[in-house]
Amino acid sequence: MDYKTRVRISTILIDEKVTPGTDVTLLGWVRTVRIGKAVSFVEVNDGSCRSGIQGVAETESHPELKTITTGASVRMKGALVVSEGKGQKYEVQISSIELIGAAPDNFPLQKKRHSMEFLREIAHLRPRSNTFGAINRLRSKLAYGIHKYYQERGFNYIHTPIITASDCEGAGDMFRVSTLPADNPPKTKEGGIDWDKDFFAEQTFLTVSGQLEGEALATALGDIYTFGPTFRSENSNTSRHASEFWMIEPEMAWAELEDNMDLAEDFLKEIFKFTLNECSDEMEFFNQWIEKGAIEKLEGVINNQFERLSYTDAIKILEKNSDKFEFPVGWGTDLQSEHERYLTEQVVKKPVILYDYPEEIKSFYMKVSGDGKTVGAMDVLVPGIGEIIGGSQREERLDVLVERMKKKGLNPEDETYQWYLDLRRFGTVPHSGFGLGFERTLMYVSGLSNIRDVIPFPRTPRWAKF
Ligand code: 4AD
């Protein structure tokens, strides 16, 4: 069979590269069929864009129409004509329609509204629905937009390891990678597990962040970014946490916290601009069906300066409103998502960058400030989501870093940290970077409120199906 003659529906409807009157061959999946006495209608969608194209045929001269059902894959041939019907530009006057793969009545995606919960159970079929077609196309295009942003600015794309012996965030929420038998691992003389017998002869995990390795590359190439999968075994069953998610982590040598904040703000604005320009088909869909005002929201972000607020000032605001929160708030506490959302949604009503956090609540690698109490950390919070970016200026002074590690209960003599400390021993430079959660960005852009719906096959506690 010759499939090469097919025309994508996006070529017709978005790119407008086919003139009416041309014979076209469409390959796709049937969304709806209406068999009338005289005339029948078949709507075919091929996943290349939001809309399908309706084919029209005389019922009597096409007995094969009887085999065509919702969900079936078909080859539809005919002349493309300007449609007189409402809400569609073109239709196809069917010359032939051929069933490729049948879909019996039990095809789960019949034309009706399905709940998001039900669609998660059929994650293998949900990409054929409007919402999941749109989010998966958006995911692809935005990934390209992000690469474009960094490549055009001279940042080098780095592949950091997925299996690692370092615990970047020090939070202990890591998935172990091991080939030792789980039921009877080899033991040391002291009775503990003998990791020396494991595959890598040491304990290894799936990475929670590519940052530490990213720093090694930034302190050689200047500006780098990573864009890869990261894994966290934290048992947070929320709409904003996934156990496997993608992160974009730029790292810049010769950059301080303010440069980092400038990059974060510019980066978000530029990728939102890219989205509005290059993903208009998807954004119109989200704007109409998922979050009314989604387009205006992005325009607002692009055209306004982000608020910048120190942690200390943020705490003062929150303390004045403490009666509104479930969790207590005070200087030194980690902000809960209710606090973050209150700041961005109720106080500043736009994205806000919080900076200079208490050193006790932040990771070991962050730059110690002159006040001895805070570190040069920054988080970007956006309405509806909360934290979307976390980053910092890194501690580049060897002696200060070593002291801070000790304070955090890490052993700076430990073999695993030596390469990281070498970056400070040899030609150290001020450097900064951050991590943007790709799924949280997609949630913000599309208005989809659950992280499980912006990644094709989500992994969350007690859920690794597909
Ligand atoms: O704030 P985090 O933990 O920062 C780091 O990992 C740093 N090493 C990044 C760096 O400085 N290079 O995570 C960064 C971002 C968060 O702001 C959030 O958007 C996302 O990653 N994120 C998650 N997204 C989905 N599910 C989770 N469980 C997430 N944990 C973090």
pLDDT digits (tens, 9 = 90+) for 163-211: 999 877 777 799 999 999 999 999 999 999 999 999 999 999 999 999 9
pLDDT at 364: 95
Ligand 1 neighbour 359 (Cβ under 6 A): no
Distance 442 CA to ligand 1 centre (A): 14
By mean pLDDT, which of 153-162, 163-172, 183-192, 253-262 is the weakest?
163-172
| Res 316 pLDDT > 90 | yes
Minimum-distance ligand 1 atom for the alpha carbon of 243: 28
Structure tokens at 111: 């034309």
pLDDT digits (tens, 9 = 90+) for 115-132: 999 999 999 999 999 999
Structure tokens at 442: 């997609």
Element (H, E) at 416: helix 415-425
Determine how β-strand 244-253 pairs with β-strand 163-164: unpaired
- Please, are residues 38 and 59 in contact by the beta-carbon 8 Å criterion? yes
pLDDT at 202: 94
Q: In this structure, which residue's CA is closest to atom 6 in ligand 1?
A: 209
Q: In this structure, which residue's CA is closest to atom 31 in ligand 1?
A: 437
Minimum-distance ligand 1 atom for the alpha carbon of 208: 6
Neighbour-count burial of 233, counting CB atoms closer than 10 A to its CB (0-12 exposed, 13-18 middle, 19+ buried): middle
State the pLDDT confidence band at 112, using cuts at 50, 70 and 90: confident
Output phi, psi for 213, to 5 deg. Answer: -70, -35
| Res 1 pLDDT > 80 | no
pLDDT at 152: 98
Ligand 1 neighbour 249 (Cβ under 6 A): yes
Ligand 1 neighbour 440 (Cβ under 6 A): yes
pLDDT at 2: 78
- Please, are residues 52 and 9 in contact by the beta-carbon 8 Å criterion? yes
pLDDT digits (tens, 9 = 90+) for 398-436: 999 999 999 999 999 999 899 999 999 999 999 999 999
Query: What one-letter code names the amino acid at 378?
Result: M
DSSP structure string for 388-409: EEEEEEB---HHHHHHHHHHTT
Q: In this structure, which residue's CA is closest to atom 5 in ligand 1?
A: 435
Mean pLDDT rounded to a whole number for the chain: 96
pLDDT digits (tens, 9 = 90+) for 328-360: 999 999 999 999 999 999 999 999 999 999 999
- Of the candidates 390, 400, 317, 396, which has an alpha carbon nearest to the alpha carbon of residue 357? 390
